Structure 1
Amino acid sequence: MLTTKQLLDIETLQKECEAYDHLQLKLNWEMFRNRVTDQLDFLHYENDELVAFLGLYAFGSTVEVCGMVKPSERRKKHFSRLFQLGMATAKEMNFKKILLNAPASSTEAQAFLTKHGAIYGFSEHQMKWEEKTLEEVNGFTLRQANTDDLDMRVRLSVEAFGLSNEDALAMESRIDGDEDTDMFMIDGNKETVGKIRVKRENGEAWIYGFSILPTHQGKGIGRKVLAKVVKEQSESGHSVHLEVETKNAHALRLYESIGFQVVHAQDYYTY
């Protein structure tokens, strides 16, 4: 697992890179802090200063990869060496899919990934809610998920997001036990029809895994649930954020109708 110093060094490097390049990196801090192994993180130090980093984030049979290099230390092959180590590790661990993540506005990252044979797959919008009057809604119930809901959570991830059962089970099992996260099940007409997860950190509330069973979509449930969650988190003093794939036009329109606006975009490449 990463040491306290390593975590601080990664955070310092991230802030420097984001300020220099005017972008936002997608490092999965929730997973960083809960690592049970140091085999998925690659750090390069010069004179006791972290100058390059590469992290692997496992989601079942898929692994996502993101990294960065100190601006003054670029073009010195630091990242290339970490990338080779990371890709070798991903292959040794037999992941079925390797996704490389880079800010959409980073031409340097795009050139690096293309040079190494990565193929563009899709983009993901990071959205922020801009204050807007939201009416009180009803017709459903939000309740904290319990152990009996695991099968339904897996089913929702499979049917709504197209994940395999293996990946859905791995993901749902991993996110349990986080004290800053609420996993809500959505009940309507005495049956469970969806789920939504809210992660709070540093004054921000992030919405993840929001899904409604396909048989219950198009009935306005999703919009009502989202409005309720956004209203509650905003009133408790949090700014509200979420992520959505660009190709999911229906979800994008739903979020925009509630008051969300795109602030960043991340590109994903398959390797």
Structure 2
Amino acid sequence: MDSYNNTICMKLKLDGEDNKAVRTLCAICYEKQKTYLKLELDLKKSQRKENKKDKALLEFLYYENKMLVGYLGVCNFGGDSVQISGMVHPDFRRKGIFRKLYLMAKEEWQRISKAEILALCDHTSTSGIEFINSIGGEYVSSEYKMCLTKKALDGESIHKQEIDSLIKLRLATSEDAAEIEKQTSIYFGKPLNEIEDKEAKVVNMDKEDLENSFIQQGNNFISYMALLKEEIIGKVHISIINKEGFIYGFGVLPVFRGKGYGREVLLATLDILKEKGVDNIFLEVESQNKNALGLYESCGFEEVAVMDYYVIT
């Protein structure tokens, strides 16, 4: 590795040695404070591999005497916002390191994107929240990270016991791209005109872009359409990284809610992940979404961390 004595460097991707250094720093911070860091290193790696056009994936590293003591990552996973998260070694705090990383990152993302900036911080990190407040961050929401309990993971599938289940999951194809984008917009509360604008953009995308954005990419990204008697009623995405399964983008169209279909879709998704031999299954849900929280808890998920989101003005 090159010498980075008291130097900040920006990279479009982490090499193997940098990746190891970031993970080591993350482990040190967790050991000292028991705070959760949402760095998404594996997800960003897979996204870079599959979509080389994405420029909103940046890494900022602060090395002192060849040791990584500060890190800030910038990422975008398809929404209208860019997310930032990072950390500083506990022994090197109160020296302005993270502020330097932030200012360098801010200058760069403003050059390449006008997207809204969201800063992520563990709900229990007083130093992180203090810094976000100092740069004008405004709290907008929180989300729970939930993990399927070992008992539920190892237990017999409830879904398979439901012989009369009418819900089926099928792999999405490029022809489902517009429907997936529309549903994503609905679930995240976008105005109708924004949904229509997104649909128009999807229609005009070429086939390769459609497949890279929405459809199967090995185990790193798999999309499923939820069907009720061959009618699409919802969708779900999964990924498997280092034998850990993740569920996201899950939803059922409003007209089909309140009938137990969401539970069936979730249980069918768990079956797929279990069959793929994952060691853990995770998902994230907004803290205000009481219906979803109740559903996940009833299926065996429990809270392991709370992440706060702040918009940077």
Deviations 1:129-173 (A, max 9, x none): 122354223211111111111011011101122244477969995
Residues 1:221 and 2:261 are matched in the alignment: yes
Match of 1:25 among 32, 37, 42: 37
Select 1:48's aligned residue among 43, 60, 66: 66
The 2-side partners of 1:171 and 1:241 are apart by 26
Corresponding position of 1:210? 250
Q: Shift of the alpha carbon at 1:33?
A: 4.7
Whole-angstrom CA distance in 1 between matches of 2:57 and 2:257 = 41
Give the 5 Å matches for 1:109-188: 109-130=128-149, 131-132=151-152, 134-135=157-158, 136=160, 137=162, 138-163=165-190, 164-165=194-195, 173-174=212-213, 176=215, 178-180=217-219, 181-188=221-228
Structure 2 equivalent of residue 63 of structure 1? 82
What is the percent sequence identity of the aligned residues? 30
Range that drifts further, 144-153 or 166-175: 166-175
Q: Judge conservation of contact 1:53–1:68 (CA < 8 Å) in 2.
A: yes
Q: Find the counterpart in structure 1 of residue 101 from structure 2.
A: 82
Q: Single out whichever of 132-141 and 55-64 deviates more from structure 2.
A: 132-141
| TM-score of the aligned structures, taking structure 2 as reference length | 0.79
Q: Is the 8 A contact 1:60 1:171 kept in 2?
A: no
Distance 2:210 2:283 in 1: 18
Amino acid at match of 1:111: E
Question: For 1:247, what is the secondary structure of its paired residue?
Answer: coil
The alpha carbon displacement at 1:225 in A equals 1.3
Distance in 2 (CA, whole Å) between partners of 1:99 and 1:152 is: 27
Contact 1:61 1:167 in 2 (8 A): no
Q: Does 1:244 align with 2:290?
A: no
Which protein has the larger Cα radius of gyration, Structure 1 or Structure 2? 2
Deviation at 1:199, TM superposition (A): 1.1
- Contact 1:203–1:237 (CA under 8 A) maintained in structure 2: yes
SS in 1 for 2:304: strand
Shift in alpha-carbon separation, 1:162–1:173, aligned structure 2, 3 A: farther
Bigger drift between 31-40 and 164-173 goes to 164-173
Which residue in 2 is equivalent to 1:199? 239
Which sections of structure 1, spanning at least 5 residues, go unmatched? none
In structure 2, the partner of 1:11 is: 23
Change in CA separation of 1:242 and 1:95 when aligned onto 2, cut-off 3 Å: same
Aligned residue pairs: how many? 271
On the 8 A contact 1:153/1:172 being kept in 2, the answer is no
Aligned AA for 2:39?
Answer: L
SS in 2 for 1:197: strand
- C-alpha distance in 1, partners of 2:125/2:249? 27
Matched AA of 1:140: I
CA RMSD of aligned residues (A): 2.3
Q: Is the 8 A contact 1:14 1:25 kept in 2?
A: yes
The farther-off stretch of 10-19 and 122-131 is: 10-19
Q: Distance in 2 between matches of 1:22 and 1:212?
A: 35
Q: TM-score, normalised by structure 1?
A: 0.91
Cα distance in structure 2, aligned partners of 1:86 and 1:167: 28
Q: Label 1:227 to 1:34 Cα distance change in 2 as closer, same or farther (>3 A).
A: closer
User: Which letter does structure 2 place at the counterpart of 1:6?
Assistant: D
Q: Is the 8 A contact 1:183 1:198 kept in 2?
A: yes
Change (3 A) 1:147 1:7: same
